[in-house]
Structure 1
Amino acid sequence: MTEIISALSDVSDRYEALFVDLWGCVHNGVTAYPEAVAALQAYRRKGGIVVLVTNSPKPRAGVAVQMAKFGVPDDAYDTIATSGDSARAAMFTGAVGEKVYFMGEWERDEEFFQPLEVIDNPVEITRVPLAEAEGIVCCGPFDPMADPAVNRPDFLYAKTKGLKLLCANPDIVVDRGEVREWCAGALARLYTEMGGESLYFGKPHPPIYDLARRRLAALGKDIPAASILAIGDGAQTDIRGAMGEDIDSLFITGGLAAEDTQTTHQPNKDALEAYLEKEKVAPNFSIGQLR
């Protein structure tokens, strides 16, 4: 049974590092949550390490720029691990071929295709029409408001050709302010359901946690799993991912699950337990918002 806490400081002294989700926890896709920022700043002042672990398809430099735009100061975190960086590494090692069909918003996602210096002898990636592609790189839908099913004809063709789909963001949906949008994970899920092969690199899958630990190592930190707390609002991404890594977790109930958990300031205990049972996840702690 999850323990409902009133503030991060109730449990943070037990952990040397935090793996913190962004969207729904630190910001809402438009602006930062002041209480969340203050909680992370306080944790760092006491010597804790904050790794922002996000399913954003952006490289970490792009996420840092985005954080500043949203009002998240750089003293609220130490480093960033993104699904985008993990997926880019796979792309430049040829996971889906050299000629790829791109799905997403090019003006937003163009930096995904920037060279990755840590890869030795990277393959040369070329964007091509679907009919010429060796694989698919999916950073998101062309229209985040459209039902993913609009992609069925293209996905049927791609599956028939045996194309793999590289998913740069396993999230199914996000809330941008008050508007819910589809993410790349919804498209990858559909492609898999149709019999295609989707490759995942963000939460809850292992590659992004390996990247987060490498980010810690780059800071000179070797921290065991028992001393890391994962924080997030995604039951099937943040919490399931933490469970798979044997990392304790703090579930932010006022994000994607706010309605299901009847969260105002704090979740309704019975609604929360029913939701966690339905999702088959078991966070160690829960709280309405990160504070």
Structure 2
Amino acid sequence: MMDFPPGLSALSDRYDVVLCDVWGVIHNGVASFPEACEALTKWGQEKGPVVLISNSPRPSADVVAQLDSLSVPRSAWSGFVTSGDATRALLKANAPGKVWKVGPARDDVLYDGIDLTAAGCEDADFISCTGLYEDEKEVPEDYRDRLKVAADRGLLFICANPDRVVQRGDRLIFCAGALADLYESLGGKVVMAGKPYGAIYDLALAEAERLLGRPVDRDRVLCVGDGVITDVKGAHDQKLACLFIAKGIHGEKAIGPDGKLNPDAVLALLEAEQVGATHAVGDLVW
């Protein structure tokens, strides 16, 4: 049965490690959430390690600067793994070769040191997608014709960010997962690197073991996230406990007109995706 704790401190006797989502939980792409950062800082000081687990398509070392710029304190986390980290392993498995890189130039660090040549949909060996080229202006349908060419050629589509949308300020922005959905609908084959798929959890748990200095008891690992089909499903599939942050991207469905968590709506939201969470709160607080 899912419960609704007042905050993270109410769970501190049940778990040793937190694997925490980033975008939507501790920042919205424009500013950090001070109470969430404070809660994670207190967990790290009083309980154990916090490993950030993000569907960012860039390597974790490259995303730290973004967290710093959004005033996410270093004290709020002890380790960091990204979908980009998992993607690099998939890219290396397909190198050397020609890749159609779909995504903004800021994500090109993902390809550093890997023997790949940029190509288009007509002559690439495979696709690597980190997002839309201009996610403030474009929508997935803008890519249909090019993706159809690639799908007809049988190209593998490596998705570096399984998120379909993300909240940037007060807007929802399309992510690489939305393009992956479209590619699959066209008959293309997709491989996902991040949540809810297993590779990124293997990296996160290995990082937790390194920080703890001992094997992780999976029954004492708490996943925190706001995405039902990424964070909650990932924890559910890995048989890990999950704290669902309901005011994230699903806030319109999970929060009542009074601004408070609506337990019945949360249950309905999770049941619609056939997943369950162990706990749920509105915002991450201590």
Question: In the aligned structure 1, how far is the partner of 2:266 from the partner of 2:181?
Answer: 26
Code of the aligned partner of 1:98: G
User: Residues 148 and 59 of structure 1: is their aligned pair in 2 closer, same or farther, counting only changes over 3 Å?
Assistant: same
Identity %: 38
Match status 1:103 vs 2:96: no
Structure 2 residue aligned with 1:120: none
Structure 2 residue aligned with 1:284: 278
Contact 1:204–1:236 (Cα < 8 Å) also in 2:
yes
CA RMSD of aligned residues (A): 1.4
SS in 1 for 2:195: coil
Structure 1 residue aligned with 2:122: 131
| Structure 1 residues 235-274: aligned runs within 5 Å | 235-262=228-255, 266-274=260-268
Summarize deviations over 1:82-121 as a string: whole Å, max 9, x none: 00110011101217x6100011111x11211112xxxxxx
Structure 2 residue aligned with 1:57: 57
Structure 1 residue aligned with 2:184: 192
SS in 2 for 1:214: helix
After superposing the two structures, state which structure 1 stretch, 240-249 or 274-283, moved more.
274-283
Question: In the aligned structure 1, how far is the partner of 2:76 from the partner of 2:220?
Answer: 19
Summarize deviations over 1:209-268 as a string: whole Å, max 9, x none: 011122223333421210100000000100110011110000000001100012565311
Question: In the aligned structure 2, how far is the partner of 1:77 from the partner of 1:270?
Answer: 32
Question: In the aligned structure 1, how far is the partner of 2:214 from the partner of 2:110?
Answer: 28
Structure 1 residue aligned with 2:146: 154
SS in 2 for 1:126: strand
> Once the 2 structures are TM-superposed, how far is the Cα of residue 270 of structure 1 from its aligned partner?
2.0
After superposing the two structures, state which structure 1 stretch, 168-177 or 130-139, moved more.
130-139
Question: In the aligned structure 1, how far is the partner of 2:254 from the partner of 2:189?
Answer: 33
SS in 1 for 2:275: coil
> Once the 2 structures are TM-superposed, how far is the Cα of residue 276 of structure 1 from its aligned partner?
1.8
After superposing the two structures, state which structure 1 stretch, 19-28 or 209-218, moved more.
209-218
Question: In the aligned structure 2, how far is the partner of 1:93 from the partner of 1:218?
Answer: 26
Structure 1 gaps, min length 5: 116-122
Code of the aligned partner of 2:241: D
Question: In the aligned structure 2, how far is the partner of 1:204 from the partner of 1:241?
Answer: 4
| Structure 1 residues 1-291: aligned runs within 5 Å | 1-94=1-94, 98-106=97-105, 108-115=106-113, 124-144=115-135, 145-219=137-211, 220-262=213-255, 266-291=260-285
Structure 2 gaps, min length 5: none
Question: In the aligned structure 2, how far is the partner of 1:242 from the partner of 1:154?
Answer: 34
Question: In the aligned structure 2, how far is the partner of 1:265 from the partner of 1:22?
Answer: 22
Code of the aligned partner of 1:100: V
> Once the 2 structures are TM-superposed, how far is the Cα of residue 166 of structure 1 from its aligned partner?
0.6
Summarize deviations over 1:33-57 as a string: whole Å, max 9, x none: 0000100111111131100000000
Question: In the aligned structure 1, how far is the partner of 2:189 from the partner of 2:141?
Answer: 17
Contact 1:266–1:287 (Cα < 8 Å) also in 2:
no
Q: TM-score, normalised by structure 1?
A: 0.93
Code of the aligned partner of 1:99: K
Question: In the aligned structure 2, how far is the partner of 1:24 from the partner of 1:214?
Answer: 24
Contact 1:103–1:136 (Cα < 8 Å) also in 2:
yes
Q: TM-score, normalised by structure 2?
A: 0.95
SS in 2 for 1:132: coil
Contact 1:172–1:185 (Cα < 8 Å) also in 2:
yes
